[in-house]
Structure 1
Amino acid sequence: MNKILPLLLLFTFFIKVPKKNSQFIARQGQVTFFSYTSVENIEAKNNQVLSIIDIDKKEIAISMLMRAFVFKKDLMYEHFNESYIESDMYPKANFEGEILDFDKSITGEQTRIIRGTLTIHGISKEIDIKTKIENSNGSYLLTGDFITQVKDFDIKIPQILASNIAKNISIKFRFQYKPYEK
């Protein structure tokens, strides 16, 4: 028995137990924005948003192409990309953050704050976003919304149009994550 114990310990040392993957990916996340104006509401949707979360590290990263936003009118798309966001110079918006007080052992729903840096139009801003996190059958769903101001990202609006563009923009998001396979 004494000879078997060291052999058993040596054997267990060299066996690698597969570690559960803590990274999850959303390849087709959704971000929408809405701006109320007296002339015409402006709304757009982007269904091609990429996001990765690391549950163990409580980190999240989001990246989206600005030209992937879809508008009801082609002229809105053109103005958004050429005049306001300047998508040729600033093709992407990014967010990197940390999920505060997140408990990965909770199944079901929990509401947490995600604190991080949002970069749009080449300008970075620290923000906190209240987010609903649902853990179900080995996947995660993150949803939420927040308000941001156009001036925070140095987006220039011509004076003649200033009364037609809202100063606050409402942003909603929905990300369905699945385990990341390398």
Structure 2
Amino acid sequence: MNKFLLVVIFSSFFSLTVISQTSEFIERQGQVTFFSYTSVENIQATNNQVLSLFNPNSQEIAVSILMRAFVFKKSLMHEHFNESYIESDLYPKASFSGKITGFDTTETEPQTRIIKGNFTLKDSTKPVDVKATIVKTEEGYTISGTLDIMIDDYNIEVPPLLSPNISKKIEVTFNFNYASYEK
């Protein structure tokens, strides 16, 4: 009887492990923050409505960012960001799709890996390499990291008068807490 119980427990554990390794994971309220440093004024905004999917087996990740969901300390910054720089009416979302290099689904310790992919903002798509930390959790995975984007790469035009107020390089940080997603 004990051998039978042991086989049932082992089979159940193995089935759960296989299911969790073949599942896709979703983050519906991921966080993306950007920061621009200048000597005149720092600009920072946070978006907590970012959607992302992660498939550990294929090592693929996709992210969709609603541009109007960024929150600024000053409402005028929000207005200028959406109307003048990002043109959110024409380009309502930014996106990223990529693949994690060297990711090991069996590893229980945090892994620092490079995600190679394409980032699309406004009407431009550019290849990027993102350094990220991946942590396996009880619910799924946490993926966080930072990347720098150059505003010139994404056709973000800054009037000459305002150019001292806006950095050419924007630091983007992200944090996604993925939970299992069943289709």
TM-score relative to the length of structure 1: 0.88
Q: Please tell me whether residue 170 in structure 1 is matched to residue 164 in structure 2.
A: no
In 2, are the aligned partners of 1:108 and 1:136 still within 8 Å (CA)? no
Give the gaps of 5 or more residues in structure 2: 1-14
Aligned to 2:149: 148
**What amino acid is the match of 1:40?**
E
Q: Give the structure with the larger helix fraction.
A: 2
Aligned to 1:11: none
Q: In structure 1, how many angstroms separate the alpha carbons of the residues matched to 2:36 and 2:137?
A: 33
By how many angstroms is 1:138 displaced? 4.4
Aligned to 1:180: 181
Q: Give % identity.
A: 54
By how many angstroms is 1:148 displaced? 1.1
By how many angstroms is 1:181 displaced? 2.1
Q: In structure 2, how many angstroms separate the alpha carbons of the residues matched to 1:75 and 1:138?
A: 39
Compute the RMSD of aligned alpha carbons.
1.2
Q: In structure 2, how many angstroms separate the alpha carbons of the residues matched to 1:138 and 1:77?
A: 34
Aligned to 1:7: none
Aligned to 2:106: 105
* SS of alignment partner, residue 110 of structure 2: strand
Alignment size in residue pairs: 166
Q: In structure 1, how many angstroms separate the alpha carbons of the residues matched to 2:181 and 2:126?
A: 28
Q: In structure 1, how many angstroms separate the alpha carbons of the residues matched to 2:126 and 2:180?
A: 29
Q: In structure 1, how many angstroms separate the alpha carbons of the residues matched to 2:179 and 2:93?
A: 23
By how many angstroms is 1:25 displaced? 0.3
Displaced runs of 4 or more, over 2 A:
none
In 2, are the aligned partners of 1:134 and 1:141 still within 8 Å (CA)? yes
TM-score relative to the length of structure 2: 0.88
By how many angstroms is 1:137 displaced? 1.8
Aligned to 1:68: 69
In 1, are the aligned partners of 2:117 and 2:128 still within 8 Å (CA)? yes
